[in-house]
Amino acid sequence: METQYLGEHLGFGQFGNILLIISFVASLLSAFAYLFKVIRKADQDAWLRLGRIAFAFHGVAVIGIVALIYYLIQLHYFEYHYVWQHSSSILPTKYMWACLWEGQEGSFLIWTFWHVVLCSVIRWKGGEWEAPVMLFMMMIQVFLASMLLGLEFGHIKIGSNPFILLRNHESFANLPFIHMPDYLSKIKDGRGLNPLLQNYWMVIHPPTLFLGFASTAIPFAFAMAGLVTGKVKEWVKPALPWAYFSVGILGVGILMGGAWAYEALSFGGFWAWDPVENASLVPWLTMVGAAHVMLINKKNGTSLLSTFILTTVSFVLVLYSTFLTRSGILGETSVHAFTDLGMTGQLILYMVYFLVLSLVLIIYNWKKLKAPEEDEKVSSREFWIFMGMLVLVISAVQITITTSIPVINKMFDTKMAPPADAIDFYNSWQLPLAVVISILIAIGQYFKWRESDMKVVLKKLSLSFIIAIIIAGVFEYIFRFPRFQHVFLLFSSIWAFTSNLDYLIRVIKGKINYSGSSIAHMGIALILLGALISNAEKQVISRNVLNIDLGKDFPNAENILLYQHDTLAMGEYYLSYKGKEKDGVNIYYEIEYFKANHTTGQLEKVFSLKPIVQINERMGNVSEPATAHFFNKDIYTHITYADLDEKPTTEESEEYKKPKEYTIKTGDTLTTSNSLVVYEGLNKTIDKKELFLGDEDLAVGAQFRVIDVNKKNYTTQPVFIIKGTSTFTKESEIKELGLKFAFSKIIPEENKILISIAEKKTNSKEFVIMKAIIFPQINILWTGCILMMLGSFIAVRKRILDLKDN
Amino acid sequence: MKKIHIIGIVVIAVALAVIVSTISSSSTYAPFSTALQHSGKTYHVVGKVNLKKEFIYNPEINANVFGFYLIDNEGAEKKVMYNGTKPQDFERSEQIVVVGKMDGDEFHASQVLMKCPSKYNGNAQDQMKTIGSAS
């Protein structure tokens, strides 16, 4: 007989499973209906109607699944594995949405959901493009819906079901207690949302990024629709606003991720060339390339093949990025990769399918796609845009190859590892490329389509060029950049900004409809400039100034120890560690920043920061930085190490900790929490009378030199005694340092001795080890982000207006 | 020859340069024995921390050096000196990767990459632990 489990709410799950099946079957049906609408001459209306009805069912099912999972999370129905794994009953409501997309199933779901939203726009506004575009979008939905099916055929697993019950999940099925009828009463709470993700950026960053990912599918679907209907050029115009939309929204999603990393992670910056970051940056780069060649094609009909290649590549790279982060292949190379859910094969199939489909369609239409014989002139705008696209592609290739090292290892069974200093390696390639890109951004718009008078172009560029040189000169005078490449990027990014501002004022004359590209390019220029200054000129003020030479392998002295109530000078500030406070899983360390007032000679408090160490059961203890924001700089403070054990509260406590034993030979150095201990050798001339020993007894001293933090020397000598058959030790003590030494054994065959050292408990004063970094001018970067977003959406609006004009 | 061809050649040349530079500047996953043979060359060594041996960390003397013993996948154990603070919760790490080179019998690491007990999705064992403590 089957066990009757108590307290379960199985109806929701059964309903959810029905919705999953509806979403899959309806997308398949819709794809076929739209296919017949496109390729068949007869019954077109009927097929179109069927396609729409099936899409409606699919859309309602997907929205239903999202709503149902959110509802289950709110009700804390922990019999569902997904709810148990990603939420808990103590979680604040504002983070409940984050639970929804914390897991892989949820992130596939949110992706599917955005496709439904975007498809709805195509469904009602697509006109003649509805059927062929929906055909490809629905194919994509078939694959995505299958990711959530959770069907198993022998060893083949299709998808991972978000409604699986806790007791049926593979990691619980073999636990005995789970098969008791009242197992639910034993499960008090869910595992909860990873505390690291309980941050407002995590509520808005993932859905924005997934909307960005989803949006790359539309230009791809348009391109494929163009090939399948034989309208190989006409698709570009209606697809153009979508391409700009994708550039804008994906860019914003990526930058939000950077903002989250900057605020909540301890990278020490907003960008670390982490594989997961790279995986979302690369499709953005190619999408920017795609949007630009589509623009060229719309203006003069050239670069047609590039539009197909780049839209396909952008979409497939989004799939590849999903594959990289979801297959567990990144392993050790990333701080935040998902583990394998057994869907690797499915993801590869998905990529290969769309890549092959695109190739077949391109080859089938090859004759129509051949480039016109006419060569683009060097003085044409399209030539320079095309150059820019090529630079973006090179940048994307470099990032992809380096990020794919684990994939290369898997394919060729090699043992390559990422470059030892990966950030430096990426920068050494990307920085020169950024210089070229920003110069192209500066000059591009001054060329006319097809052909322009070079003299006019140079004349128009001269003003912004001169202003840029002056501004760059001022910045260089202030900052003194360490490398000459930095100076190039400094100038080129400033020029990109001034030249686009000049274009906006003098050429466009501030007409808002035409300002999108200038504003977006100004934004990119500021992002590059802000990234350059805040990174190249970041100043670690927590320099360890102790004169301990660590040798060339140990250049890092960026962490500094701060005792409670002590004050240390760092840069222009004086820092003091005031104390700590525990709140839930977080321990807040209050660090006060003072500045010296030169008139009074007093230290005045400027601000205080509370970086966090989070006791995180799931990720290990994590430290979250705290940052003070000023208009011209950020001061970032981060606890790199803190002793989480409780300390004795009274300073006078005479208690000693458990002694530690050491086996040592002459010349060895030991460390205690407050000193270095050097063993200088045995002393065989101990005055035995003083110890009340006879001549036949043996007494040997061990001589130690002890050096404290202030370089003060002490000597001490514990004595080892053999009296008859028994051995004793006479302890010695250094009161000032709270250290006790005992000499307990001689090991003559190894020429070593055994000693032990005990420390007073109060020796370890409360302290933190922290890192403090000043990021100058980082607000330039965030201003750039806002401009880029604004510019992109003005451009989207302009292209939509263009469509309506015709 | 058209401009587009010249540009094409340049792009291909740069792409080749990217591949060559990636391969030449990439490090290698290797056991301690290999790192010992080529001391002075940087390697990625994968291994498990020997939790039975004590960690060497005296922040009050130097916060920027942390030492521990690592057993690589071939079973060889070496002392690793890492240029940095002791990572939070180091005791709980299972498998780690150290990046650096051998110096004498010590491995000098510039990076320590920790694989946490569970990433976004925990493994079964970890989940059982949580359940165990909950009930």
pLDDT tens sequence across A705-759:
988 877 788 989 998 888 877 888 888 888 888 888 988 888 888 888 888 888 8
Q: Do A194 and B120 touch (CB under 8 A)?
A: yes
Distance, CA of B21 to CA of A362 (rounded, Å): 33
Cβ of residue A104 closer than 8 Å to a chain B Cβ:
yes
Cβ of residue A662 closer than 8 Å to a chain B Cβ:
no
CA distance B114 to chain A (A): 8
Distance, CA of A61 to CA of A18 (rounded, Å): 9
CA distance B100 to chain A (A): 8
Q: Do B83 and A194 touch (CB under 8 A)?
A: no
Three-state secondary-structure class, residue B106: strand
Tell me: pLDDT of A240 over 70: yes
Band of residue A551 on the pLDDT scale cut at 50, 70, 90: low
Residue A641 burial by CB count (10 A; 0-12/13-18/19+): exposed, middle or buried?
buried
Q: Which of A225, A209, A212, A219 is nearest to A241 (CA)?
A: A219
CA A184 to chain centre: 36
Band of residue B118 on the pLDDT scale cut at 50, 70, 90: very low
Q: How high is the pLDDT of residue B130? A: 35
Distance, CA of A252 to CA of A16 (rounded, Å): 32
Residue given tokens 């590059």 in the structure block: A528
CA A333 to chain centre: 12
- Give the phi and the psi of residue A693 in degrees, each rounded to 5: -110, 155
CB crowding A167-187: b at 16 or more within 10 Å, else e: bebebbeebeebeeeebbeeb
CA distance A675 to chain B (A): 7
The pair of three-digit structure tokens given for residue A695, joined into one six-digit string: 């001549």
N-term to C-term CA, chain A: 70
Nearest CA in chain B to A660: B54
Over pLDDT 90: what percentage of chain B? 31
Q: Do B92 and A194 touch (CB under 8 A)?
A: no
On chain B, the residues whose CB falls within 8 A of the CB of A709 are 60-61
Tell me: pLDDT of A414 over 90: no
Distance, CA of A216 to CA of A713 (rounded, Å): 68
Task: Choose among A103, A186, A417: nearest Cβ to B26.
Answer: A417
Cβ of residue A618 closer than 8 Å to a chain B Cβ:
yes
Cβ of residue A555 closer than 8 Å to a chain B Cβ:
yes
Residue given tokens 């709980």 in the structure block: B92
Q: How high is the pLDDT of residue A213? A: 97
Distance, CA of A720 to CA of A704 (rounded, Å): 14
Q: Do A390 and B11 touch (CB under 8 A)?
A: yes
Nearest CA in chain B to A764: B60
Number of Cβ pairs closer than 8 Å across A and B?
Answer: 192
Q: Provide the β-strand partners of residue B10.
A: none
Nearest CA in chain B to A640: B85
Give me the interface pTM, i.e. the ipTM: 0.86
**pLDDT digits 0-9 by tens, A251-297:** 999 999 999 888 887 777 788 898 888 999 999 999 999 999 999 99
Distance, CA of A639 to CA of A645 (rounded, Å): 15
CA distance A421 to chain B (A): 9
Q: How high is the pLDDT of residue A553? A: 62
Question: Please, what is the average pLDDT of chain A?
Answer: 88
Q: How high is the pLDDT of residue A332? A: 57
Strand B77-83 with B106-114, pairing:
parallel
Q: How high is the pLDDT of residue B61? A: 74
Distance, CA of B78 to CA of A159 (rounded, Å): 43
Q: Give the number of other Cβ atoms within 10 Å of residue A650's Cβ.
A: 9
Give the lowest-confidence range in A279-293, A388-402, A573-587: A573-587
**Size of chain B, expressed as the number of residues it contains:** 135
Q: Do B135 and A339 touch (CB under 8 A)?
A: no
Residue given tokens 């490329």 in the structure block: A433
**A524-538, A540-554, A593-607, A640-654: which is most confident:** A524-538
CA distance B49 to chain A (A): 15
Contacts of A387 (CB under 8 A, 6+ apart): A440, B7
The residue that leads in pLDDT, A2 or A347, is A347
Q: How high is the pLDDT of residue B122? A: 38
Band of residue A544 on the pLDDT scale cut at 50, 70, 90: low
Distance, CA of A721 to CA of A701 (rounded, Å): 9
Tell me: pLDDT of B134 over 50: no
Distance, CA of B129 to CA of A457 (rounded, Å): 69
Over pLDDT 90: what percentage of chain A? 53
Q: Which of A119, A117, A90 is nearest to A30 (CA)?
A: A119
Q: Do B63 and A560 touch (CB under 8 A)?
A: yes
The pair of three-digit structure tokens given for residue A225, joined into one six-digit string: 């629709």
Tell me: pLDDT of B131 over 50: no
The one-letter code for the residue type at A197 is L
Contacts of A729 (CB under 8 A, 6+ apart): A718, A719, A720, A721, A742, A743, A744
Over pLDDT 70: what percentage of chain A? 94
Q: Do B65 and A553 touch (CB under 8 A)?
A: no
The pair of three-digit structure tokens given for residue A709, joined into one six-digit string: 């933090």
Tell me: pLDDT of A564 over 80: yes
The residue of B53, B121, B123, B126 whose CB has the most chain A CBs within 10 angstroms, and thus the best one to mutate to test that interface, is B121
Tell me: pLDDT of A305 over 80: yes
Cβ under 8 Å to B: A residues 78-97: 85
Tell me: pLDDT of A301 over 90: no
Cβ under 8 Å to B: A residues 513-552: 544, 546, 548, 550
A741 close to A732: Cβ distance less than 8 angstroms: yes
Angle subtended at Cα A277 by Cα A276 and Cα A281, rounded to the nearest 5 degrees: 120
CA A620 to chain centre: 18
Nearest CA in chain A to B8: A390
CA A350 to chain centre: 25
Tell me: pLDDT of A339 over 80: no
The residue that leads in pLDDT, A229 or B58, is A229
On chain A, the residues whose CB falls within 8 A of the CB of B56 are 671
- Give the phi and the psi of residue A413 in degrees, each rounded to 5: 55, 40
Distance, CA of A119 to CA of A301 (rounded, Å): 28
Task: Choose among A172, A339, A550: nearest Cβ to B83.
Answer: A550
Residue given tokens 């005055």 in the structure block: A687
Contacts of A617 (CB under 8 A, 6+ apart): B130
Give the lowest-confidence range in A570-584, A636-650, A783-797: A636-650
B31 close to B16: Cβ distance less than 8 angstroms: no
SS3 annotation, A604-634: EEEEEECCEEECCCCCCCEEECEEEECCCEE
Band of residue A394 on the pLDDT scale cut at 50, 70, 90: very high
SS3 annotation, A413-436: CCCEECCCCHHHHHHHHHHHHHHH
The pair of three-digit structure tokens given for residue A539, joined into one six-digit string: 């100043």
Q: Do A171 and B123 touch (CB under 8 A)?
A: yes
**What CA–CA distances, in Å, run from A429 to A398, A435, A804?**
8, 11, 43
Q: How high is the pLDDT of residue A593? A: 93
On chain B, the residues whose CB falls within 8 A of the CB of A105 are none
pLDDT average, residue stretch A168-176: 81
CA distance B48 to chain A (A): 13
Distance, CA of A4 to CA of A607 (rounded, Å): 60
Q: How high is the pLDDT of residue B2? A: 72
Nearest CA in chain B to A373: B2
pTM of structure: 0.87
**pLDDT digits 0-9 by tens, B68-107:** 999 998 999 999 999 888 887 788 777 888 999 998 889 9
A224 close to A216: Cβ distance less than 8 angstroms: no
Contacts of A451 (CB under 8 A, 6+ apart): A377, A379, A380
Band of residue A119 on the pLDDT scale cut at 50, 70, 90: very high
pLDDT average, residue stretch A416-435: 92
Q: Provide the β-strand partners of residue A575.
A: A568, A593
Three-state secondary-structure class, residue A287: helix
The residue that leads in pLDDT, A302 or A362, is A362
**What CA–CA distances, in Å, run from A512 to A129, A515, A789?**
29, 5, 15
Q: Do A339 and B123 touch (CB under 8 A)?
A: yes
Task: Choose among B28, B95, B118: nearest Cβ to A417.
Answer: B28
Q: Do B135 and A186 touch (CB under 8 A)?
A: yes
Angle subtended at Cα A736 by Cα A730 and Cα A738, rounded to the nearest 5 degrees: 60
Sign of the C-alpha dihedral, residues A166, A168, A171, A177? Answer: positive
Strand B77-83 with B65-72, pairing:
antiparallel
Tell me: pLDDT of A546 over 60: no
On chain B, the residues whose CB falls within 8 A of the CB of A189 are 134
Q: Do B83 and A554 touch (CB under 8 A)?
A: yes
Q: Do B120 and A561 touch (CB under 8 A)?
A: no
Tell me: pLDDT of A671 over 70: yes
A672 close to A763: Cβ distance less than 8 angstroms: yes
The one-letter code for the residue type at A789 is M
Cβ of residue A70 closer than 8 Å to a chain B Cβ:
no
Distance, CA of A255 to CA of A267 (rounded, Å): 15
Q: Do B19 and A401 touch (CB under 8 A)?
A: yes
The one-letter code for the residue type at B55 is F
